[in-house]
Structures are given as structure tokens and as C-alpha cells.
Amino acid sequence: MNVLLIGNGGREHAIAWKLAQSKKLDKLFISPGNPGTADYGKNVDISVDDGEKLVEFAKMNNVGLAVIGPEDPLANGLVDKFEAAGIKAFGPSGAAAQLEADKAFSKVIMKANSIPTAESRAFTNFADAKAYIASRDEAVVVKVAGLAKGKGVFVCERPSDGILAAEKIMVDNAFGDAGKTVIVEDKLLGQEASILAMVDGRNIYVLESSQDHKPIGDGDTGDNTGGMGAYSPAPVVTEKIMNQIIKEMLVPIVDGMNRNGTPYKGLLYAGIMITQGGPRVLEFNVRFGDPETQPILMRLKSDLLEIMLATCDGRLDEVELHWDTRPAVCVVMSSGGYPGEYEKGKVISGLKEAGQMKDVMVFQAGTAAKDGEIVTAGGRVLGVTAMGSNIEQAQKNVYAAVEKISFDGAYCRKDIANKAIGK
């Protein structure tokens, strides 16, 4: 089967690497891809936003399955376009993708289905949001309702900071149309976890747990990013908590989406806060997490293409996934200045040396090829990922690989997986 993978980040590099291992795969096309994905298929110079060209390319190249990586094309209905052309597509419909693309919609669905989540209010007017936040005595979280590439969440310890965040979004228009509606919710305390599950409309198959690290600084300090690292499995997700997440969150949201007339198919991501009162949903996403995908797919021993086809065909109940019991850790190397302003075009050295290490993969995210060299081309540049006999060894291996790679202004957190180790 010929497969078209859409996207160009570290998540897509990891998916391309895993799909290339499938016995069912004939040709893999990645659009637009990056220098890393070119090792596993043919990169195609078509934007993720150009649905017509992508569908036309798929028709001309006998593509049997399209896999959509990023959230924007999913929200814009790319799956619907492929299916209308008679091509299978892995991912939710445009209507179902509202679960991530519209946080106000997501909150309504959660409340309607009694899914544990933070108390919240939605606002389309800054004066109303300001008055509400000012009336609060405790910390608040201010969220852009639309898609903001993981950067539209502001955790505000003081109401005054919450007002400034709302002003940045609604008055300064920092996130454009995505910030027309703002969600203000209670701050939840605890440890975060990422739960990814395949959903075929009625069956749910939960993947191995993971934990992301959103803030830029060690100790979860500083501005939120798209994710600075992840590890799998997450010890904080015990069997009891996982069963609770499935029963109280995953099953009700899939059932609720069906009853809403927006049935869900594809990868469902639940961002969870494990509080003293039990797990609570922070957000739902409608695609593989980045960087959680990297350590999860490193541990997956089963055929990813088979799993995706079973999801599309509504036969997840016929699938059994197998996992490497060893943990994996991913450390994101970013451009200096990220998530703010940063320079591009910095030459990256050491990729080959790091990639040749045992149980190590260097997934490229924000990279480009220039004059025979790999250079930086984004905020999150690389997702260095390693496995180990235990979480301590995986952490040791990944940072040993990071040490072999360098580029001007390179930055990474030094504490990824410390929570799992108990430091």
C-alpha cells in the first residue's frame, strides 16, 4: 500500500520511521516532510494547508491511506476531503476535530457528559473576562479557545496576571482569530500525564502512558511551549488511575461525540492532571502528541500501519498491540529564544554521531537542508529520544546523545524524566 503522511515535525518524523517498518507498506510519501523524513520515504513539496493538491497527488500516486499529523489541516476538514475522493484517511472529521480546535466546544461536550475537568467560563468580550477574573481570589488558567500550537495557555498565580493574559489575547490580538474566545478556568494541582488512544468510532485502544513537559524551564518554570520533552511510561499513571481515565473520560467523550452527531475516529489525546481528588481532563487533542509520539513509538513493537488501517475500518477489536517494556525518554533541543523570537539557519553538527548510538533516535522537527548541511528552521529543532533498561538509564542515554549534538543557541531542559525517577 502507498501511504501519504502529512506534516513536517518531529511527530511526523517518528511516524514515518515507524510506518517504514511495515510489511504492508509499498511507497511512503511525506508532505512536506523534513530532512529526517526523507530517510524513510519521498518528501513532496505540498503545503499541509493545500487540501486540493494533496488529494490530487494521492489520486495520481495510488495512495491507499492518508495520515494527517498536525491539528490545523484536521480542523480544516482534510480527512473529509480525502474520504470524499474515496481515499482512506487516518484522523477525525473536521466536525470531530472541534474537540481540539474549539476549547469552548470541548468544555460543553465534557460538561454534558459529566467528564471531570476544571470549572470554567468562556468569554468573547474582554471587559467581561476582566471583571470575572478580577472577582477571583485564586490562581486561574487563561486559554485561547482556538488552535495556538500549544502556546495559548497561561497559568496565572494572581488574578492580575490573568487579566494581563486575557488582554494579550483579546485586545492585543496575539493569537489572531484563535483568541476571539477565551476560556478562564480554575488551576488544577498535581502531575500531568498524556493518554493517547486509537478510536474507531466505537472501540477504544489505549496506548502506553506518557508525560509531557510544557514549560520552557527546568522545574516546570517559565512560558509554556509546544513541549520540551516527554517520557513513557509515566509511573504516575497507575493501573487504577488508567482504569478511571478510561471509564470516566475516554468512554464518555467517545459516546458523547457520537450522540452529538460528530463521531470520532483517529487518535484521541487526553491531557490529564492527576490531582489529589483523582484525574481531571485538562484538554483533548485530536492527533498524536508532540513530543509524546517519539518515546511512545520507540516502544511500540506492533505494525503502526496495520493499527491505523484497523482504526479507519472500525475493527480495533481485532488488534492487539505489543510493547517494549523498556522506558523511553525524549529531550527537545530548541532554538535559543524559543518560545519567543529566535534565529534560523544555524548549522547542526553531531546528528550522525548521536544517531549511531544504541537505542537512540534523533527525530528532526524544525530543520532544513542547506548547502549539504542540516540547519535549524524552527523553534523546536530536534527530539532526541533514547531507551534504557530503566528510566534512569534511558535518561542517561538521551542526555549522552544530546551532548553529541550542537548548534548555535541550542537549548534543552536538563530535567526531563526526573519526575519518574523521583528526584
In this prediction, residue 58 carries a pLDDT of 98
Domains of the chain by range and CATH? 2-93 (3.40.50.20), 125-180 (no CATH), 191-318 (3.30.470.20), 328-421 (3.90.600.10)
Strand-pairing partners, residue 10, are none
In this prediction, residue 423 carries a pLDDT of 53
Tell me the whole-structure pTM to 2 decimals: 0.94
Residue 22: half-sphere exposure toward Cβ, Cα within 13 Å = 23
- Cα(171)–Cα(155) distance, integer angstroms: 18
In this prediction, residue 151 carries a pLDDT of 80
Segment 80-97, tens digit of pLDDT: 999 999 999 999 999 999
- Cα(4)–Cα(10) distance, integer angstroms: 16
Residues 6+ apart with CB under 8 A from 65: 1, 3, 4, 87, 88, 89, 90, 305, 308, 309, 312
In this prediction, residue 242 carries a pLDDT of 98
Point out the residues of the chain with pLDDT beneath 70: 423
Q: What are phi and psi of 35, to 5 degrees?
A: -55, -30
CB atoms within 10 A of CB 24: 14
Residue-wise DSSP of 153-176: EEEESSHHHHHHHHHHHHTS-TTG
In this prediction, residue 149 carries a pLDDT of 80
Rg over alpha carbons for the chain, rounded to the nearest Å, is 20
Contact between residue 92 and residue 266 where contact means Cβ atoms under 8 Å apart: yes
